[in-house]
Amino acid sequence: MVSTRHTGAPPDRDPGLPHDAAARTGTGTVVVLAACGYLMALQQTMVLPLLPALPSLLQTSASNASWLVTATLVTGAVVTPLIGRLADMFGKKRLIVLTLLLVVAASVLGALSDALVPLVLARATQGCGLALVPVAMATMRDVLPPHRVPGGVATMGASMAIGAAAGLPLSGTIVTFLDWHWIFWSVALAGSVLTLVVAKVVPPSPPYPREKFDLLGAVVLAGALTTLLLPLSKGGQWGWTNRETLLLAATSVLLFALWVPLQLRSEAPLVDLRVAARPPLLLVNLCALLIGFALFSNILITAQLLQLPAATGFGAGLSVLEAGFWLMPIALVGIATAPVAARAIARFGAQPVLLVAATELSMAFALRVPFSREPWQMLMGAVVVGLGLSLTIAAVPTLIMTVVPITQSASATSISALLQSVGTSTASATMAAAAGIWTVEVGPHRYPGSTAFTTMFWIAAGTTAAAAGLTGLLIIGRRAGRAVTNPARG
């Protein structure tokens, strides 16, 4: 985020361009950017079915193999605000193409690797792809008419839901019938094609005045986020009171304490904290953080329930491939909800839609507590939660882009995506802690107990209820502002 003086609307298309041609250009842009979102979500989840086999494939421990997931999440969170700021400075299309090239190069490295270290490096670099999504959403604000932006954002959210759900069955199919390296080759091939299509189809963003990049602020923020997310991701394995865990957490606190005054004193801060602290943006970002918890608590926890042995008394005992296909209806919900979300936002506004969605999420998670015993109950619960999540994925970025200048749209949506990632990492850490407290033994194996999953659902119900409360405050504040600026006349 930079200066707040520029508050212009998205630029108009070339006045000489026919209306039909402009509409086709906008539709093509949305389709291409949504395909990018699909691929980024896909490459994030495709490696998950491979994790149980990696220790034997790479001659390493299960703890070391888990770095293939941790590295992606940490890198994605760290680079997201940096790429967002660079996109506002140098052009969103350029950063989208650059990010795709990084993902392609990382995927080729993974496809050619048979050792742990290069694979972790490949997965860490693939994490840069997570930063593409908020930049793509901000690009839609640049190139689409205002009334089409909610639809474009909703389509992006639907494509990501499809990618996340398709990752499990697709990778399961690859592992079953092909060499596991094709998980990386497939992403490399798809990313190469998308890079060419983006360069051809997506219009460049209009030029904005460039300001100095806050390199010191970027380095300190990267360190603060890394030392925050590592203990959140690995604390369950290391131990929450382990010296390394506590040291990293303390380092994160110190670095954030250093970073805040650096941003307040900087002439061109990486994140304009004065703008971020304004109630509308602050409340929306807090909602993104709380809803990020719910994102983890839906698909991944449902996948665990479907794959736990039936002997636990509550697991469905499905294979990875079967569980992946069972989760596909969640993606279909995303497809069906995207146009509904766009129309609802256009008619009622993003704030009421977010309020309804967060309220629905809270009730849906509460209902998942008694109704998660049979596979069909797990699926229906995940679908109902997915409905609310699809609405929030459309509403939150739309809200952010209505309260920040267009010159800050990529930075602002990137910060929101970062906070959502922190919420997801927090949920992962919470699940790891719950799984360590409540367990069930089946033969020689120990699994998370039903109380662990029940606890996660109740916490998710609480966080989404809090998000609904924050949205209510946002709506009240907006109406109060209107009352002040437009007093009733007697």
Number of continuous H segments (helices) and E segments (strands) in the chain: 20, 2
d(Cα 125, Cα 106) in Å, to the nearest integer? 6
Distance CA 220, CA 218 (A): 6
Q: Would you state the structure tokens that stand for residue 303, as one six-digit string? A: 């996948």
Distance CA 129, CA 117 (A): 20
Q: Chain centroid to CA 42: how far?
A: 12
| pLDDT for the residue 24 | 58
Cα–Cα distance for residue pair 439/360, rounded to 1 Å: 30
pLDDT in tens, the chain (490 residues): 433 333 333 443 444 444 444 455 678 888 999 999 889 888 887 877 677 677 778 887 777 777 887 888 888 888 888 898 888 888 889 999 999 999 999 999 999 988 888 988 999 999 898 889 889 988 888 888 888 888 888 888 778 877 777 777 787 778 777 888 888 999 999 999 999 999 999 988 766 666 678 888 889 999 998 888 888 877 777 888 888 889 999 999 999 999 999 988 888 888 888 878 888 888 888 998 898 888 777 777 888 888 888 888 888 888 777 777 777 787 777 777 878 888 888 888 889 999 999 999 999 999 999 988 888 888 888 889 888 888 888 888 888 888 777 777 778 888 888 888 888 878 877 887 887 788 888 888 788 888 989 999 999 999 999 999 999 988 887 766 554 444 444 3
Residues 6+ apart with CB under 8 A from 425: 73, 77, 229, 232, 233
According to the model, what pLDDT value does residue 17 have?
41
Tell me the DSSP string of 386-437.
HHHHHHHHHHHHHHHHHHS-GGGHHHHHHHHHHHHHHHHHHHHHHHHHHHHH
Distance CA 353, CA 359 (A): 10
Q: How far is it, in rounded angstroms, from Cα 353 to Cα 254?
A: 38
What is each CA distance from 43 to 131, 144, 337, 485, in whole angstroms?
A: 13, 27, 23, 48
pTM listed for this prediction: 0.78
Spatial distance between the Cα atoms of 64 and 76, rounded to a whole number of angstroms = 19
Cβ count within 10 A of residue 281: 22
Please, are residues 460 and 365 in contact by the beta-carbon 8 Å criterion? yes
Close Cβ partners of 253 (under 8 Å, ≥ 6 residues apart): none
Q: Any idea of the CA torsion for 273, 279, 284, 286, to the nearest 10 degrees?
A: 70
Which domains, from first to last, does the chain contain? 19-213+270-483 (1.20.1250.20)
